[in-house]
């Protein structure tokens, strides 16, 4: 009998196997994967853009920095372009992004190349990695004898396992077997495709002023670039293999999936909403590598961790939205909870109560994150509201989930008990702000704002909060920092409420040690002239 069997050898399953091996050097671990390995580079998957949590998880926790630095691309943050006229001149669009790399690194991952490396590591570390295996049945026990039947070249094999983990993506074996599917109220659709060549948005304008601040490793194409519009956004992501990933993501109420669910339809759709990108797509059709469309990409699940020794990680359980690139973050959260549960069990410690607690914590993080996306696509093309919302969402992320995870306190139950009041207050202030953004949008949705750059790398608050993720805090310092994060967010919420002119009453008191933040956000609220600075020496993280 295996100690752990993992269904699915993609990003979630392979990274979990490696994390388990680090914690449990003698455990028997098996990964069962349908595809043949190695997979092609620029594999047909989303999730290429990582943000701070996933970058920390893969680079630091799993020890993959050498591979990432040598064989993947650094990311010059997230970059956003808002509508201007017919969107035919990128230099005329309001731009939100940095001219320097953030203190806390993030990466663009070629999923095929990365998963091949993970697969090789699994084999090197004595993890039984079975590819080209088609799972036929899963039998979930209430004890410790789960069974999996799988087919290899027409021959059925059965494996029993103490722990059974579903990392099978949207096949979702356990969720379907146990009847735990839930419909998400967030209805969005997506299509994505790749070209075998590099597409650089830096070439889309000859305006020397627009080009002057970005060159070499600070060229704009190193960012995850977002092109924003009412009810939609489009991504362009470079891959280290030389390919370029492009995706269209839209809320169903604004754009039907039938309008862009083939490469021809997607091109026509882009001609209407993003004509510069449409021209690029037409010029590169001979380099098209793949195309996929998915309807209602958001998925939910009743339960992800069980005292009966099963678990679910990655898209087999939950996925809400690709905006802000959270998918790999939730893989990191789920895998870390599972590693703690399994290691406790195999070392003879109690895990059943923790399975219940971790399931609740994971879902609270997930539903807390949902507020950034659900019912918010209406404002995605609003150049007045969205820059403020994006920066607010960054600060919420860096103050809660990223802060807890990167301080290695995700599985520290006493931390949640000590900070329960703070977490409730943070949830309250965030819900208030997301409602304010929707109301503010209704008042400003027809207000134009073009031809400017909001350089977040020049914003002291943003840079400081990002840098703090790298701190190594003891318990007392962690508590002080958590309290300071909350005070800072509540103060900023007051400021945004006032500056928006919405006359919306803030349902919480201003912290006693009021922080003055207006100068930090002045350019975001009132328009921003281009700031040109000599780039700092660039480090490809």
Per-position DSSP letters for 428-489, written without gaps between them: HHHHHHHHHHHHHHHHHTT----S-EEEGGG-HHHHHHHHHTT----HHHHHHHHHHHHHHH
User: Residue 499's pLDDT is what?
Assistant: 86
> Which of 249-258, 330-339, 377-386, 495-504 is least confident?
495-504
User: Residue 533's pLDDT is what?
Assistant: 28
User: Residue 438's pLDDT is what?
Assistant: 96
Compute the distance between CA of residue 34 and CA of residue 9 in angstroms, rounded to an integer.
8
Instruction: Check: CB of residue 71 under 8 Å from CB of residue 113.
Output: yes
pLDDT tier at 28, thresholds 50, 70, 90: very high
Averaged pLDDT, 126-137: 97
User: Pick the residue with more confidence: 275 or 452?
Assistant: 275
Give 207's contacts (C-beta < 8 A, 6+ positions apart): 91
What tokens appear for 321 in the block? 């939205």
**pLDDT tens digits, one per residue of 346-366:** 999 999 999 999 999 999 999
pLDDT higher than threshold 70 for residue 450: no
3-state DSSP helix/strand/coil percent for the chain, to nearest 5?
Answer: 45, 20, 40
Averaged pLDDT, 51-57: 98
Compute the distance between CA of residue 53 and CA of residue 59 in angstroms, rounded to an integer.
10
Helix, coil or strand: residue 243: coil
pLDDT higher than threshold 50 for residue 531: no
Compute the distance between CA of residue 294 and CA of residue 210 in angstroms, rounded to an integer.
35
pLDDT higher than threshold 90 for residue 537: no
Averaged pLDDT, 3-21: 98
Instruction: Check: CB of residue 369 under 8 Å from CB of residue 401.
Output: yes
Separation in Å, CA 321 to CA 184, 193, 250: 11, 17, 10
> Which of 3-17, 439-453, 526-540 is least confident?
526-540
Instruction: Check: CB of residue 280 under 8 Å from CB of residue 326.
Output: no
pLDDT tier at 208, thresholds 50, 70, 90: very high
User: Residue 350's pLDDT is what?
Assistant: 94
What tokens appear for 70 in the block? 């040598």
The model's pTM: 0.94
Strand partners, 454: 96
**Exposed, middle or buried: residue 538 (CB in 10 Å: 0-12, 13-18, 19+)?**
middle
pLDDT tier at 35, thresholds 50, 70, 90: very high
pLDDT higher than threshold 80 for residue 539: no
Instruction: Check: CB of residue 117 under 8 Å from CB of residue 282.
Output: no
DSSP assignment of 292-339: EEESS--EEES-SEETTTEEE-GGGT-B---TT--HHHHHHHHHHHHH
Averaged pLDDT, 400-409: 97
Averaged pLDDT, 450-479: 92
User: Pick the residue with more confidence: 354 or 515?
Assistant: 354
pLDDT higher than threshold 50 for residue 491: yes
pLDDT tier at 513, thresholds 50, 70, 90: low
Compute the distance between CA of residue 60 and CA of residue 64 in angstroms, rounded to an integer.
7
pLDDT higher than threshold 90 for residue 45: no
User: Residue 530's pLDDT is what?
Assistant: 34
Task: Centre a 10 Å sphere on the Cβ of residue 433 and count the other Cβ atoms it contains.
Answer: 25
User: Pick the residue with more confidence: 45 or 299?
Assistant: 299
**Domain annotation for the chain: domains and CATH numbers:** 1-47+109-184+301-374 (3.50.50.60)
Compute the distance between CA of residue 166 and CA of residue 180 in angstroms, rounded to an integer.
13
Nearest to 499 by CA among 479, 523, 473, 464: 523
Task: Centre a 10 Å sphere on the Cβ of residue 154 and count the other Cβ atoms it contains.
Answer: 6
| Residue carrying structure tokens 């490809």 | 540
Nearest to 15 by CA among 160, 121, 173, 113: 121
Q: Kind of pairing, strands 2-7 and 29-32?
A: parallel
User: Residue 64's pLDDT is what?
Assistant: 98
Helix, coil or strand: residue 146: strand
User: Residue 93's pLDDT is what?
Assistant: 95
Averaged pLDDT, 62-75: 97
The helix or strand, by DSSP H or E, that contains position 388, with its residue range, turns out to be helix 386-399
> Which of 119-128, 367-376, 442-451, 476-485 is least confident?
442-451
**Exposed, middle or buried: residue 190 (CB in 10 Å: 0-12, 13-18, 19+)?**
buried
The mean pLDDT of the chain is 92
Determine what percent of the chain is predicted with pLDDT higher than 70.
94
User: Residue 143's pLDDT is what?
Assistant: 72
pLDDT higher than threshold 90 for residue 47: no
54-91 burial by CB neighbour count: b if 16+ within 10 A, else e? bbbbbbebbebeebbbebbbbbbbbbbbbbbeebebbb
């Amino acid at each position: 009998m295996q100690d752990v069997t993992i269904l699915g050898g993609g990003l979630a399953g392979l990274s979990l196997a490696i994390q388990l091996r680090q914690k449990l050097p003698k455990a028997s671990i098996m990964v069962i994967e349908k595809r043949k390995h190695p997979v092609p580079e620029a594999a047909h998957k989303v999730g290429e853009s990582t943000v701070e949590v996933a970058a920390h998880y893969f680079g630091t926790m799993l020890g993959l920095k050498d591979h990432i630095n040598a064989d993947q691309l650094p990311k010059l943050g997230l970059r956003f372009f808002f509508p201007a006229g017919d969107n035919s001149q990128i230099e005329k669009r309001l731009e939100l992004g940095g001219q320097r790399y953030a203190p806390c690194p993030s990466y663009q991952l070629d999923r095929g190349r990365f998963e091949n490396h993970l697969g090789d590591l699994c084999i090197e570390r004595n993890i039984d990695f079975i590819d080209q295996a088609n799972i036929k049945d899963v039998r979930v026990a209430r004890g410790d004898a789960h069974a999996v039947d799988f087919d290899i070249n027409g021959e059925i094999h059965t494996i029993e396992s103490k722990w059974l983990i579903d990392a099978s993506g949207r096949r979702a074996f356990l969720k379907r077997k146990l009847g735990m599917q839930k419909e998400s109220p967030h209805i969005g659709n997506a299509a994505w495709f790749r070209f075998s060549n590099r597409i650089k948005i830096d070439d889309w304008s000859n305006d020397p002023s627009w080009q002057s601040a970005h060159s070499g490793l600070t060229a704009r194409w190193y960012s995850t670039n977002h092109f924003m519009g009412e009810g939609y956004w489009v991504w362009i992501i470079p891959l280290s293999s030389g390919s370029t990933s492009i995706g269209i993501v839209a809320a169903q109420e604004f754009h039907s999936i039938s309008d862009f669910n083939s490469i021809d339809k997607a091109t026509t759709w882009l001609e209407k909403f993003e004509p510069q990108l449409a021209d690029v797509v037409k010029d590169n059709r001979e380099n098209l590598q793949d195309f996929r469309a998915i309807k209602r990409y958001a998925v939910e699940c009743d339960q992800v961790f069980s005292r009966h020794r099963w678990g679910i990680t990655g898209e087999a359980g939950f996925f809400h939205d690709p905006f802000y690139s959270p998918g790999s973050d939730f893989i990191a959260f789920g895998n870390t909870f599972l590693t703690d549960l399994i290691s406790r069990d195999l070392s003879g410690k109690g895990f059943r109560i923790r399975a219940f607690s971790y399931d609740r914590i994971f879902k609270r993080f997930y539903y807390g994150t949902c507020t950034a996306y659900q019912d918010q696509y209406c404002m995605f093309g609003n150049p007045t509201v969205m820059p403020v919302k994006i920066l607010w969402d960054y600060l919420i992320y860096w103050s809660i989930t990223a802060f807890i995870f990167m301080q290695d306190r995700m599985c520290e139950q006493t931390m949640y008990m000590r900070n329960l009041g703070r977490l409730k207050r943070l949830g309250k202030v965030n819900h208030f702000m997301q409602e304010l953004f929707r109301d503010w949008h209704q008042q400003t949705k027809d207000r134009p704002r073009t031809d400017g750059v909001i350089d977040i790398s020049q914003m002291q608050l943003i840079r400081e909060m990002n840098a703090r993720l790298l701190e190594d805090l003891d318990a007392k310092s962690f508590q002080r920092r958590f309290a300071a994060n909350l005070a800072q967010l509540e103060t900023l919420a007051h400021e945004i409420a006032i500056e928006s002119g919405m006359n919306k009453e803030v349902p919480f008191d201003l912290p006693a040690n009021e922080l003055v933040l207006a100068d930090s956000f002045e350019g975001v609220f009132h328009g921003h002239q281009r700031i040109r600075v000599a780039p700092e020496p660039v480090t490809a993280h």
